[in-house]
């Protein structure tokens, strides 16, 4: 197992659209294990393969406080969504930046597990937010894309400022 480097905005590779997974082999299982290790090490609740510069439709999530409810979704597709919720989102590719985003309250997602078996997940609330956030990454989309131009500019300036401060110790 190993942790993988997470790419950060404005890396253009975050805009890559992920390809479907066709082969469910030992290499895929190793990659999914590395995604979990990377997500847990970074204290994230989710991670999309896009963020580790692998452009396959793979996402992992764990919304539990105990960090013991791993969920891996391969080739996820939204079957149904309804309602709306506002949730303050963060992203490992935008360290230290948080913003309210409006998304569906509930999603029904069809996906495959690491063995290629079809699974259907009915998610609501924070898990639904996380799945939508990760599926966006797989489509080359990031959470600041939902903000008004003014708010986005403000947050990206803040990201820049934080990085400069970090660089100057």
> Cα angle at 44 between 28 and 89, to 5 degrees?
120
Q: Is 76 in the site for ligand GNR (CB under 6 A)?
A: no
Interface with ligand GNR by CB under 6 A: which range of 13-21, 63-71, 104-112, 133-141?
Answer: 133-141
- Of residues 59-98, which lie at the interface with Ni ion (CB under 5 A)? 91
47 binds, among Ni ion, ligand GNR, none (CB under 5 to 8 A by kind): ligand GNR
Interface with ligand GNR by CB under 6 A: which range of 21-29, 65-73, 86-94, 155-163?
Answer: 86-94
Q: Is 135 in the site for Ni ion (CB under 5 A)?
A: no
**Choice from 31, 44, 127, 155 touching ligand GNR (CB under 6 A):** 44
Q: Are 79 and 109 in contact (CB under 8 A)?
A: yes
Catalytic residue at 8?
Answer: no
Q: How far is the CB of 86 from Ni ion (least distance, A)?
A: 17
Interface with ligand GNR by CB under 6 A: which range of 8-16, 70-78, 83-91, 112-120?
Answer: 83-91
Please report, as ranges, the residues that interact with ligand GNR according to CB under 6 A. 44-48, 51, 87, 89-93, 129-130, 133-134, 137
């Amino acid at each position: 197992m190993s942790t993988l480097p997470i790419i950060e905005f404005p890396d253009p590779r975050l805009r890559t659209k992920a390809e479907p997974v066709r082969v469910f082999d030992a290499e895929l299982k190793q990659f999914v294990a590395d995604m979990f290790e990377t997500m847990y090490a970074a204290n994230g609740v989710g991670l999309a393969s896009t963020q580790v510069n692998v452009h396959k439709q793979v996402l992992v999530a764990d919304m539990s406080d105990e960090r013991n409810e791993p969920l891996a979704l391969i080739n996820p597709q939204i079957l149904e969504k309804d309602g709306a919720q506002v949730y303050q989102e963060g992203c490992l590719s935008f360290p230290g930046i948080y913003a309210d985003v409006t998304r569906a309250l509930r999603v029904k997602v069809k996906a495959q597990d690491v063995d290629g078996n079809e699974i259907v997940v009915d998610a609501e609330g924070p898990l639904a937010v996380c799945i939508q956030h990760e599926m966006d990454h797989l489509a080359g989309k990031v959470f600041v894309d939902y903000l008004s131009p003014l708010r986005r500019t403000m947050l990206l300036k803040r990201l820049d400022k934080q990085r400069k401060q970090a660089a100057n110790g």
